[in-house]
Amino acid sequence: MKREYFGTDGIRGTVGQAPITPDFVLRLAHAVGQVLRKTEARPVVLIGKDTRISGYMLESALESGFNSAGVDVVLLGPLPTPGVAYLTRAQRASLGVVISASHNVFEDNGIKFFSAQGTKLSEAWELEVEAALKLAPQWAQSAGLGKTRRLDDAAGRYIEFCKSTFATDLTLKGLKIVVDAAHGAAYQIAPKVFHELGADVIAIGCAPDGLNINHQVGATHPEALVAAVKEHKADFGVALDGDADRLQMVDAQGRLYNGDELLYLMADERLGRGEALPGVVGTLMTNMAVELALKSRGVDLVRAKVGDRYVLEAMEARGWILGGEGSGHLLALDKHTTGDGLISALQVLQACVRAGKSMADLLAGVTLFPQTLLNVRLRPGADWQANAALKEQTLAVEQELGQSGRVLIRASGTEPLVRVMVEARDPAQALHCAQRIADTLQ
């Protein structure tokens, strides 16, 4: 069966357009409640959200839908997505629900779910929910309706959890850190985490008004962080996205570091402490320079499909603890069950503090390969995978690049496009090779 509503990270769309409407969200919660009731007499669900104005409306709809199915609800208020995952596990709840569209504009919103263990749920579970959506509602009798309460100090509990992942023998005292929360879910939490670990914190992107989430700030607009780090002569800059599961960082010189580089720093710190690290999971887009640097340290890199869900699946299949994407979704399963921008930032800062070095110093031997990405629009009905000229030219480019580059060709999931990516040490060679391959498709 194919999923109708769920995508790679829950259900997402424009508010007021199907499926992100209050009537659908109420039915969704009721359907999820029916699924939970199959194995639990009185399920308890936690609901957190980011700072979008539509969160109020969708929270009310979820609450009603769950209560109508005989499910108790605990409201957490604004809280990062990984914070909901943590509290679901810590509170022994049946399910965690997040109202967020992550790095999207405020007009969008979405619903995503976490299991009782604080992990992403399987596609099989999502299909079961979609099947329940097609059934007539089964309203609970009045005496069996669910109740709702708020969890006191949900933010404070999550702050303490984040701090517990930072080495107790280290401190951030003496460091000036700019923290950009994208006017999102971590606007109160992120500055406090770094401050309570000793840092001098300058907060930007921490004044949400319901309409400004991710607007010219945060991990998707790091230029605001770069400017603030330079202005305040800070040692580090940390940028999160709207739901705080994505991370970008900046050093004292204003240089931006992406998720691939930060993932290597997390791996390097563990190796430096003598930890066994058989492998790290990246994606099809992970920069080859990171792969080669890890290989030189005796660490394998396995590439999963793009999407933190697929990175996590590959990690769990191998029993590995580190993985991530260049976009800044980073996972450290020895610290948390899901990707967490705050905890990942603390892991990178821990590496720098322990070594007494900057990010640039720790990455001195890792120079990212230039990547050229070309989008080729296909003619209607064109079968690019059967294109003999494409296969011939791709093979020729791969032979030319040898061990100092690679080719990735994949179809867009949303448009009639083929994406051609070539990575090489020489940017001119990458561009020339990508153009040669793209020409065979046109």
Cite the active site residues.
102
Q: Which residues, in sequence order, are CB contacts of 347 under 8 Å at separation 6+?
A: 165, 265, 266, 269, 332, 335
From the list 146, 45, 139, 147, the residue with the least C-alpha distance to 99 is 45
Distance between first and last Cα of the chain: 34
Angle of CA points 298, 303, 304, to nearest 5°: 140
Residue labelled with tokens 């690290």: 277
Give the tokens for residue 187. 């606007």
Strand, coil or helix: 212 = coil
Give the tokens for residue 164. 């517990």
Residue labelled with tokens 């009731």: 37
Report how far residue 428's alpha carbon sits from residue 292's, in angstroms, rounded to the nearest whole number.
21
Report how far residue 98's alpha carbon sits from residue 108's, in angstroms, rounded to the nearest whole number.
14
Q: Which DSSP state fits 386?
A: G
Instruction: Kindly report the backbone phi and psi dihedral angles of residue 67, in degrees, each rounded to the nearest multiple of 5, phi listed first.
Output: -60, -40
Strand, coil or helix: 15 = coil
Angle of CA points 35, 318, 82, to nearest 5°: 50
